[in-house]
Structure 1
Amino acid sequence: MSKSSIFTRIATTSPPQTRQRLMRRALVLGGSIAGLFAARVLSDYADEVLIIERDTADGANPRPGVPQGGQVHALLPGGRIQLDRWFPDFSPEAVAAGAVEVSMNATMRMYMGDRPRSAIPRRADGQDVTLLMTRPRLEYLLRRRVEQLPNVSTIHGRATGIHIEAGRVTGVTYEPAGAVVGELRVGADFVVDAMGRGSRLTEWLTAAGVPVPKLERIPIKTNYVTTVIQAANPDALPPFVGFHGAPQGAATGLDGAVILTENGKRMVVLAGYDTDRPTRDLADLRDRATRAYPPPFAEALQDGSVIGEPVSYHLADSRRRDFDTVAEHPARLVSLGDAVSSFNPVYGQGMTSAALQASALAAYLQAGPDLDRPALEYFRSVRTVVDAAWQPLRIADMAQPHLAHLRPRHYPMLARFGNLMLTASQRSVKVRQQLDEVSWLIAHPDQLSRPSFVLSVLTNGLRREPADSKSQN
């Protein structure tokens, strides 16, 4: 089966149908977005699902376990589709709780300092729709839905190790939150590592003498600052404004977004790379927005009152581990979400990728696998999901000067074609839709290499016409 076919099967909009008991107890290590999706999937296949998570969620404040929780988080349309697939009517529930539902085709997106990409009609299938809300609110609503499942419960504590017997995982040790009893052990028939970038699973496996996959890193050195504004006029700007580009003469590229969230709050994020670090000083941020960003950014920072202080975050690298490369991986143990791959956050791929990896877990379990063998089929599907985000973003990140030494030999050709795609997307609805489907993790990037798409890019990208051409080719 081709990668595109595997991705299409995973990213389906069809509601889950199969419910079969394959295990008595499943454990999910970590109760963040990835862990909550995993728990929902496992609830169809286990008598009991236990989530081990040390933090509580109140819907208003970032959890200690999510240090970037106060930053802008984007849920791509592909992620919104999986939310409503696994949690029916989640979108209207979120909107009732203050989330903003928006068609991405009605948003303002700007690239390389050009004019905003012109809007195109909202898709009849609704696959261009996303939800705008803060990370704490999204996680709170999702956790509430998971906790309503009759066979799912939460243990408040921190996982400290795994137990392996005869090549398969049999349980986990953990420290209960606030307790003085020390470590406890809980048995399991299946374990999901959803502990994020800080997962210690590979340490535990190494200590047990089990090979682990190589960690691949791209030193993106992303620096960003988010300012939360109580907007005086929430309708003055589109609900989502995105920018990717570089001012003339700049040493590095810039990224940014202005997002309307619940209760009329607007989040403004300004991002730089390498040694370019936005400060947390509001006057500096306003000056930076005025000098280097399109007008909506400065307007957003002036429209209303600032809530709290601007918060900064630095991410040293994108990273991934391809677990399908290790045949000796213990049976009944899988990883999901940031524990597998963590992307440059400015592209907003993380939560959507986690949701799709959970759907890959469902497809794996639905096939009725031999659980006493390593879940390599699952990991191969996860690799397809990760590649769908990783490969295009890797090429985009290579534009940063401090990553020039990592550029492949054919990078100039790839960069040239990427610029042609952006130009063609201004002139052709079909090119725009196919490019968006890949960017939103609805379709696999392979569709961008099809001869018909390449021809359309070349035809629309090279011709001497204004960018607001109404061509529908």
Structure 2
Amino acid sequence: MHALLDGGRRQIDHLFPGFAAELVAGGAARADTGEGVHGFLEGRCKVLVDGMEVISATRPFLEAHLRRRVWALGNVRPVSGGAHGLVFTGDRVSGVRCSGPGESRDPAGGSSCDEDVLAADLVVDATGRGSRIGAWLSEGGWPEPGLRRMSVDLGYATALFRRPPEASGVTVAQSLTTLPDGRIRLSTLGRVEGEDRWIALVAGYADDRPGRTSAEFKLRCQQDPAAPFHELAEDGEPIGEPFLYRHPDNRRRDFHRLDRFPAGLVAVGDALASFNPVYGQGMSSAAMHAACLAAHLATRPSPHEPAWPYFRRARAVVDDAWQTSALNDLKMPHVMEPRPRGFAVASRISDVILRASVTDPVTNLRLMEVTHMLAPASTLLRPGTVLRAAWAVRGQGAVRS
């Protein structure tokens, strides 16, 4: 399940004009937050607010369209192979060691062909959360960036269903519920490309992970207090069995803390930071990293200087996304990570804002702008926002002691 957040959609549309319209023309579903996108908290539908768009599509569909737009650029030459290390010349990275085009790396550890070198003025590591950039830097005599991990032990299942579009009044729905022990369950569904096709996700933590059969998936939907998931279980026809995934931890590489770094090298996407996937930040974060890199390159930086300005720009994106996901993950009792200073206050404010978003449109709009990566997380800590949220919760007649 993947819904492209509005922050990411805007960035990709800026880089590739008409991209969102192309997705919709190909069958993806587009919904406005004021109409087809519904959020639920403990079964209660949040007040709708206008101003943001969500694109719902499967990841292979979205990525195939994006890849095709990239390959269509006149100055792009795709090369198929495997990257095995960096090439250093003095104080800069000057290329990548890789297998030849069309060749593959021997799983036993050897190379199936003589290694080639792709020379480069700038190497961009976009190899994901399993990136070996730290080891490659170490091999060249450079310090490794610190790798922070936050164990969350998330399990989630995704399933495809066939159902008529008119079976539900929503295009995208997300439901958040809290178990008696304080852990959360999250469910998401959305209409996607293909005739009458929907995709749904159910997620839980530690031993509350979903099962692997369609019957177990439907039961999880039936247990969700939000109506769209009951309806999916009743009128949806499963297309195959669910796919199960594990997300053991969130990760970020702190390049900004290094005192030495070679020129000619940057990292983007999950190679820079990998977040809890249930918050949908990954694709949008990667698009914003690309925008940060574009802004950096527009200054015509020296190829002989480390890309510190880029890493500073990208850090702001990572910090915001990390704060959003980490704050929620640290609330759960099974997450045995140290709580940062001020966590109790921030957690309390977060709870109040989330509850206020059910009935107060202004609070929900500000929360949605942060969720969609259109505004910094600090927006929600402004005194006016906090006071308004507290007043809205009081009006609900549910003030916590």
Corresponding residue number in structure 2 for 1:138: 62
1:233 shift after superposition:
4.3
Corresponding residue number in structure 1 for 2:10: 81
Measure, in 1, the Cα distance between the counterparts of 2:359 and 2:225. Answer: 24
The 8 Å contact of residues 217 and 242 in structure 2, kept in 1 or not, is answered as no
Measure, in 2, the Cα distance between the counterparts of 1:449 and 1:246. Answer: 23
Q: CA RMSD in A?
A: 1.9
1:304 shift after superposition:
3.4
1:409 shift after superposition:
5.2
Question: TM-score, normalising length from structure 1?
Answer: 0.78
Corresponding residue number in structure 1 for 2:29: 100
Measure, in 2, the Cα distance between the counterparts of 1:417 and 1:461. Answer: 11
Measure, in 1, the Cα distance between the counterparts of 2:13 and 2:334. Answer: 40
Q: Identify if the C-alpha distance between structure 1 residues 454 and 339 changes in structure 2 by more than 3 Å, giving closer, same or farther.
A: same
Residue 198 in structure 1 maps to residue 122 in structure 2: no
Q: Identify if the C-alpha distance between structure 1 residues 426 and 289 changes in structure 2 by more than 3 Å, giving closer, same or farther.
A: closer
Measure, in 1, the Cα distance between the counterparts of 2:330 and 2:375. Answer: 23
**What is the percent sequence identity of the aligned residues?**
37
Output the amino acid matched with 1:133.
A
Corresponding residue number in structure 1 for 2:251: 319
Measure, in 2, the Cα distance between the counterparts of 1:194 and 1:456. Answer: 41
1:135 shift after superposition:
0.3
Measure, in 2, the Cα distance between the counterparts of 1:416 and 1:186. Answer: 51
Residue 158 in structure 1 maps to residue 82 in structure 2: yes
1:368 shift after superposition:
2.1
1:300 shift after superposition:
1.2
Corresponding residue number in structure 2 for 1:240: 172
Measure, in 2, the Cα distance between the counterparts of 1:280 and 1:170. Answer: 46
Corresponding residue number in structure 1 for 2:187: 256
Measure, in 2, the Cα distance between the counterparts of 1:429 and 1:297. Answer: 24
| Equivalent residue for 1:352, pick from 284, 296, 307 | 284
1:464 shift after superposition:
4.9
Corresponding residue number in structure 1 for 2:299: 367
1:406 shift after superposition:
2.6
Corresponding residue number in structure 1 for 2:108: none
The 8 Å contact of residues 149 and 249 in structure 2, kept in 1 or not, is answered as yes
The 8 Å contact of residues 234 and 260 in structure 1, kept in 2 or not, is answered as no
Measure, in 2, the Cα distance between the counterparts of 1:301 and 1:182. Answer: 54
Alignment partner of 2:2: what SS? coil
1:88 shift after superposition:
0.5
The 8 Å contact of residues 212 and 242 in structure 2, kept in 1 or not, is answered as yes
Matches within 5 A, 1:420-435: 420-435=352-367
Output the amino acid matched with 2:186.
D
1:159 shift after superposition:
0.9
1:456 shift after superposition:
2.1
Measure, in 2, the Cα distance between the counterparts of 1:220 and 1:301. Answer: 28
Q: Identify if the C-alpha distance between structure 1 residues 195 and 100 changes in structure 2 by more than 3 Å, giving closer, same or farther.
A: same
1:338 shift after superposition:
0.1
The 8 Å contact of residues 168 and 228 in structure 2, kept in 1 or not, is answered as no
- Residue by residue over 1:180-201, the C-alpha shift from the partner in whole angstroms, topping out at 9 and shown as x without a partner, is 5331111111110000011111
- Residue by residue over 1:9-59, the C-alpha shift from the partner in whole angstroms, topping out at 9 and shown as x without a partner, is xxxxxxxxxxxxxxxxxxxxxxxxxxxxxxxxxxxxxxxxxxxxxxxxxxx
Measure, in 1, the Cα distance between the counterparts of 2:217 and 2:182. Answer: 18
The 8 Å contact of residues 189 and 200 in structure 2, kept in 1 or not, is answered as yes
Corresponding residue number in structure 2 for 1:22: none
Measure, in 2, the Cα distance between the counterparts of 1:455 and 1:284. Answer: 42
Range with bigger deviation, 184-193 or 169-178? 169-178
| Equivalent residue for 2:346, pick from 406, 414, 419 | 414
1:251 shift after superposition:
6.1
Corresponding residue number in structure 2 for 1:109: 39
1:305 shift after superposition:
2.5
Residue 172 in structure 1 maps to residue 96 in structure 2: yes
Measure, in 2, the Cα distance between the counterparts of 1:142 and 1:184. Answer: 27
Alignment partner of 1:85: what SS? helix
1:175 shift after superposition:
1.0
Corresponding residue number in structure 2 for 1:280: 212
Unaligned ranges ≥5, structure 2: 104-111
Measure, in 2, the Cα distance between the counterparts of 1:403 and 1:361. Answer: 34
Corresponding residue number in structure 2 for 1:449: 381
Question: TM-score, normalising length from structure 2?
Answer: 0.92
1:281 shift after superposition:
1.2
1:292 shift after superposition:
4.1
- Residue by residue over 1:402-425, the C-alpha shift from the partner in whole angstroms, topping out at 9 and shown as x without a partner, is 115533354332222112112322
Task: Provide the aligned length of Structure 1 versus Structure 2.
Answer: 389
Unaligned ranges ≥5, structure 1: 1-71, 468-473
- Residue by residue over 1:210-245, the C-alpha shift from the partner in whole angstroms, topping out at 9 and shown as x without a partner, is 101111111011100011012244542411110122
Measure, in 2, the Cα distance between the counterparts of 1:460 and 1:298. Answer: 29
Output the amino acid matched with 1:81.
R
Range with bigger deviation, 178-187 or 278-287? 178-187
1:366 shift after superposition:
1.2
1:363 shift after superposition:
1.0
Measure, in 1, the Cα distance between the counterparts of 2:305 and 2:398. Answer: 58
Alignment partner of 2:170: what SS? coil
Measure, in 2, the Cα distance between the counterparts of 1:181 and 1:405. Answer: 44
Matches within 5 A, 1:215-234: 215-234=147-166
The 8 Å contact of residues 45 and 358 in structure 2, kept in 1 or not, is answered as no
The 8 Å contact of residues 188 and 200 in structure 2, kept in 1 or not, is answered as yes
- Residue by residue over 1:412-454, the C-alpha shift from the partner in whole angstroms, topping out at 9 and shown as x without a partner, is 3222211211232233322221111111001111222223323
